[in-house]
A and B are shown apart, each in its own frame.
Chain A
């Protein structure tokens, strides 16, 4: 679009945004990333698409991630460009995101 919107008031920081969500973090990571596979990935779509911003590109072309503040939406593995890079399961029973206003 040609015209951009000026924000009438500042949006909250991403950390504050995520602090509104309850996560009962499981000791077992429910996402694993094969960062060696990510090095050959040209799109790294997970980095921008993940609504929780859990995937961060590293200087050497890999991906650093955390699973703790995950909405369990599945975006990352669904748009992943490289077979086998992201393994995604549900967190163990009772763990993970707990939404009150979903």
Chain B
């Protein structure tokens, strides 16, 4: 049986300034900001330690950490600093890769890192505790406490005498957020805006990883892959840790269900691909994991503040996962940090009603958290569209193959002719190609 730490001493009047639900990156960042503002804050985690329930897909981008923990790179539990980033487009027998590396990302202030969430999340939660937050693990928040006017006044937990009262509740309880659902902010189910990520972490000796991926020391590689999901909207990834490699796929939930393909089959396909298999030869499975991802973006975000409660992180769909940028942990940290600041300010003004907490949204709009989501709100439609998912990977690979296949003594065909022919063979009209190109410029431009 898991050990439970004793319930913490409750503030004198029995009411916490803030209760933060979930000690993932959003929750810990919120708790850290509140504790630094001198507020009593209880951080509740349902797992036996922070990160025990969490999975990510490859890179934690560190810039947002600058604001929370100066010189965080000196202490963060990093696996590898990502200095090499590849984007791969594949068919079962072809792969076209755009590969970029820069030594700049391998030194302070660093761009992104690979890590294990059990380590990273525990590290961030440790900072919240150091600042004065009280962390309680192995405790599930089972519901909201509300007063007669509907205002959130605390949470119910699965401990004996487990009701906890607070002036503000910050729900950072993840993609399935039962608190946001109970408050009517999220639908009970939302399969169309969710993707399923499945991941294998495989052991390989450190020097083998460095040789196969052409990296040295603590340098790391992250590959994002399109065209590896049997036409189910989604993509794949592969990234390096110190002495393991993580490989997985992310697929639309409804597409997966419709295709009746088992998720681990998709990973097996990817691992067996001629462009991937040599990287993984002899690797031994250390851990298999799965997690849902909210990919709906800006247009599916819930209301972020109600009387007595804020929502942050995956619970607020703050994941940028369908585009050329794949980010989530940094958005969780950012939204949690701003939620903590807005809550501290509301507490200072003794108004934690929805309007008292409205500063949260303003902080998000003034920062990357909502600005990026707003700018990229049409990205999921484009990236997960039928043509991008089913037709373009094969078309691109065939085009590149034609370009580099030497046909002597037959003279070379011009590029535009090759493009026309390849597009026709793949059932792509040039008009649609142009339209998608323009849409791409509008979405990402």
Does B383 sit within 8 A of A, measured CB to CB?
A: no
Q: Is the CB of A99 within 8 A of B53?
A: yes
Least CB distance, B321 to chain A, in whole angstroms: 15
Does B34 sit within 8 A of A, measured CB to CB?
A: no
Least CB distance, B241 to chain A, in whole angstroms: 8
Q: Is the CB of B52 within 8 A of A99?
A: yes
Q: Is the CB of A95 within 8 A of B272?
A: no
Contact of A99 among B117, B158, B194, B271 (CB under 8 A): B117
Residues of chain B lying within 8 A (CB to CB) of residue A89: 142, 178
Contact string against A for B residues 197-229, beta-carbon threshold 8 Å, 1 for contact and 0 otherwise: 011010000000000000000000000000000
Residues of chain A lying within 8 A (CB to CB) of residue B323: none
Does B429 sit within 8 A of A, measured CB to CB?
A: no
Q: Is the CB of B158 within 8 A of A93?
A: yes
Does B149 sit within 8 A of A, measured CB to CB?
A: no
Question: Which residue of A9, A75, A95 has the most chain B CB atoms within 10 A of its CB atom?
Answer: A75
Residues of chain B lying within 8 A (CB to CB) of residue A21: 287-289
A73 CA to B176 CA in the complex, in Å?
8
A7 CA to B265 CA in the complex, in Å?
11
Residues of chain A lying within 8 A (CB to CB) of residue B116: 100-102
Interface stretch of the complex, out of A31-39, A42-50, A56-64: A42-50
Contact string against B for A residues 1-39, beta-carbon threshold 8 Å, 1 for contact and 0 otherwise: 101111111011010111011001000000000000000
Number of interface residues of A (CB under 8 A): 47
With A75-B253, A94-B48 known as contacts, the answer to whether A101 contacts B244 (CB < 8 A) is yes
Least CB distance, B395 to chain A, in whole angstroms: 13
Within 8 A of B (CB), among A46-101: 48-49, 51-53, 71-75, 77-80, 89-101
Least CB distance, B309 to chain A, in whole angstroms: 19
Does B262 sit within 8 A of A, measured CB to CB?
A: yes
Residues of chain A lying within 8 A (CB to CB) of residue B55: 99, 102
Q: Is the CB of B159 within 8 A of A74?
A: no
The interface size bin for chain B is 35 or more
Contact of A17 among B54, B139, B285 (CB under 8 A): B285
Contact of B196 among A6, A16, A53, A73 (CB under 8 A): A73
Q: Is the CB of A77 within 8 A of B189?
A: yes
Least CB distance, B260 to chain A, in whole angstroms: 5
With A17-B285, A93-B4, A101-B289 known as contacts, the answer to whether A4 contacts B92 (CB < 8 A) is yes
Residues of chain B lying within 8 A (CB to CB) of residue A51: 196, 198, 263-264, 290
Q: Is the CB of B272 within 8 A of A8?
A: yes
A82 CA to B242 CA in the complex, in Å?
44
Within 8 A of A (CB), among B5-23: none
Q: Is the CB of B196 within 8 A of A94?
A: no
A20 CA to B285 CA in the complex, in Å?
7
Question: Which residue of A78, A80, A98 has the most chain B CB atoms within 10 A of its CB atom?
Answer: A78
Contact of B140 among A5, A45, A93, A97 (CB under 8 A): A93
Task: List the interface of chain A (C-beta within 8 A of B).
Answer: 1, 3-9, 11-12, 14, 16-18, 20-21, 24, 43, 45, 48-49, 51-53, 71-75, 77-80, 89-102
Q: A16-B285, A75-B253, A93-B158 are in contact. List 7 more A-B contacts (CB 8 A).
A: A5-B92, A8-B277, A11-B264, A49-B263, A74-B292, A75-B292, A92-B140
Can you offer 14 A-B residue contacts whose CB atoms are under 8 A? A1-B91, A5-B273, A17-B288, A20-B287, A21-B287, A73-B196, A73-B292, A74-B292, A93-B2, A95-B2, A98-B52, A99-B118, A100-B116, A100-B118
- 8 shortest interchain CB distances as A-B pairs: A94-B138, A94-B2, A45-B257, A51-B290, A102-B55, A101-B201, A71-B290, A93-B138
